[in-house]
């Protein structure tokens, strides 16, 4: 009798273990969560060794292991809205609302800081020569040498919170609160400026043909040729901080008020997916075409625009997700939780599949993922 009971218990144990394995393999499964002072817009970047870096509202930049353990925290005087970018040597660059752009070593020590006249909400981009580009709300756009000294600055007509993108020829693109979208040469000279009807607070994306995509608070989504002439615009009626991402088939995805839009490369809207609140999170696209973004819940959509799955992790998700090489999704939320979730495939190999383009958040077209 005792032997029979033991056999049954063993069988139940094996069944439970099998069910646990199935559950862990399901898309959308929460792999781990850790507490951070996180409710801001900072989006995670991933280093070459798999370390995840993200800024938080508790005035700290965190380094987190792939298994969810905190490696270190770098403290400043104010919160982070900017997202980190990681240099080829592992240096982490991030803007802060204490008016500084910081360079931090992979072990969490300050390398240097550069002080501007106001908040640095713009996320930095890293050029092929390791030049760091970013904007500040002090009306200036900066280029810094790798040692933190100023290379040049460009005066704008208003503050800059848009994060720059760098084309394959080295041209730097960004929007400004002065309603203009700028293209600068690597030496800081203005190449052209395109005027819109409203402030530009989101960040640009580019495709392999050099077309630049961005939105304005004038309620339009723009596509420009690399010479600054308009290719097309789509009237969205939306005001959002969400920035565009491009899927494997060239479809452009962006949050517009309480909807995620899918837009064809010719400017035709394919579909829209409604959410309960405005979308500030920028989408990330996987190799299988799944689109991930946050709103009142974390959403995974099929390329057709139907919902695949969703996970509740707070009432408002500002942070833009990143998808690791193993297909793990990382994102923050307003309940101070930083979350890792199971996905089906890694980041897409499209020209601009996620906010800041690649895992290191270089914002550079020629950088690898």
Q: What is the DSSP string of 153-203?
A: EEE-SS---SPPEE-TTS-EEEE-TTSEEEEE-TTS-EEEEEE-SS---S-
Tell me if 69 sits within 8 A of 39, measured CB to CB.
no
pLDDT of residue 3: 45
DSSP helix, strand, coil percent of the chain (3-state; round to 5): 5, 40, 55
Taking the model in full, what pTM does it have? 0.92
Instruction: Reply yes or no on whether the pLDDT at 17 is more than 60.
Output: no
Residue 208 lies in a domain: yes
Tell whether 352 is covered by a domain. no
Report, in angstroms and rounded to the nearest whole number, the Rg of the chain calculated over CA atoms: 21
- The number of C-alpha atoms within 13 Å of 271 and in the hemisphere containing its C-beta is 11
* Residue range of the domain that includes 146: 2-341
Whether 348 is in a domain gets the answer: no
The pLDDT value given to residue 38: 63
- Identify the CATH number of the domain in which residue 288 sits: 2.130.10.10
| CA angle (114, 117, 119) in 5-degree steps | 85
Contact 71, 36 (CB under 8 A): no
Q: Are 324 and 346 in contact (CB under 8 A)?
A: yes
Domain count, the chain: 1
- Answer yes or no: is 362 within a domain: no
Q: Domain for residue 245, yes or no?
A: yes
Q: Rounded to the nearest 5°, which phi and psi values hold at 140?
A: -120, 150
Per the model's pLDDT, the better-predicted residue between 121 and 344 turns out to be: 121
Neighbours of 148 (CB within 10 A): 15
Q: List residues bridging with 292 in a β-sheet.
A: 284, 300
Could you tell me which residue, 99 or 240, shows the higher pLDDT? 99
Distance between CA atoms of residues 218 and 235, nearest Å: 9
Joined together, the tokens standing for residue 103 give: 């360079």
Residue 355 lies in a domain: no
Q: How far apart, in whole angstroms, are the C-alpha atoms of residue 7 and residue 3?
A: 6
Average pLDDT estimate for 62-81:
96
**Does the structure show a pLDDT above 80 at 8?**
no
Q: Across-strand partners of 252?
A: 246, 263
Domain assignment present for residue 205? The answer is yes
Q: Is 365 a domain residue?
A: no
Averaged pLDDT score across all residues of the chain: 91
- Strands 125-126 and 132-135 turn out to be antiparallel
Task: Give the Å distances, CA to CA, from 125 to 26, 96, 177, 330.
Answer: 35, 15, 19, 20
């Amino acid at each position: 009798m005792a032997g029979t009971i033991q056999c049954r218990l063993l069988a139940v144990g094996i069944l439970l273990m099998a069910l646990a394995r199935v559950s862990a393999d399901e898309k959308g499964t929460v792999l781990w969560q850790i507490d951070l002072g996180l409710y801001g817009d900072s989006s995670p970047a991933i280093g070459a060794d798999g370390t995840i870096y993200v800024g938080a509202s508790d005035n700290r930049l965190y380094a987190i292991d792939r298994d969810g353990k905190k490696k270190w925290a770098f403290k400043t005087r104010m919160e982070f809205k900017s997202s980190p970018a990681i240099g080829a040597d592992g240096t982490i660059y991030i803007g802060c609302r204490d008016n500084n752009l910081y360079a931090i070593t992979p072990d969490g020590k300050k390398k240097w800081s550069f002080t501007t006249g106001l908040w640095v909400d713009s996320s930095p981009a890293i050029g092929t020569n390791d030049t760091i580009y970013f904007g500040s709300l002090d009306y200036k756009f900066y280029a810094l040498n790798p040692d933190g000294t100023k290379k040049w600055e460009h005066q704008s007509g208003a503050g800059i919170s848009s994060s720059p993108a760098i084309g394959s020829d080295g041209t730097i693109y960004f929007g400004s609160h002065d309603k203009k979208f700028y293209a600068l040469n690597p030496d800081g000279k203005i190449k052209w400026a395109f005027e819109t009807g409203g402030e530009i607070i989101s960040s640009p994306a580019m495709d392999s043909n050099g077309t630049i995509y961005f939105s304005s608070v004038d309620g339009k989504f723009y596509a420009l040729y690399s010479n600054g002439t308009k290719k097309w615009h789509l009237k969205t009626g939306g005001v959002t901080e969400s920035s565009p991402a491009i899927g494997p088939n060239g479809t452009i995805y962006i949050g517009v008020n309480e909807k995620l839009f899918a837009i064809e490369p010719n400017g035709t809207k394919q579909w829209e997916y409604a959410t309960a609140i405005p979308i500030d999170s920028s989408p990330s696209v996987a190799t299988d075409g799944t689109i991930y973004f946050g709103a009142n819940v974390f959403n995974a959509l099929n390329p057709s625009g139907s919902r695949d799955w969703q996970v509740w992790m707070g009432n408002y998700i500002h942070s833009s997700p990143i998808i690791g090489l193993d297909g793990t999704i990382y994102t923050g939320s307003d309940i101070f939780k930083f979350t890792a979730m199971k996905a089906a495939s890694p980041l897409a190999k499209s020209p601009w599949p996620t906010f800041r383009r690649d895992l290191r958040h270089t914002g550079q077209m020629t950088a690898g993922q």
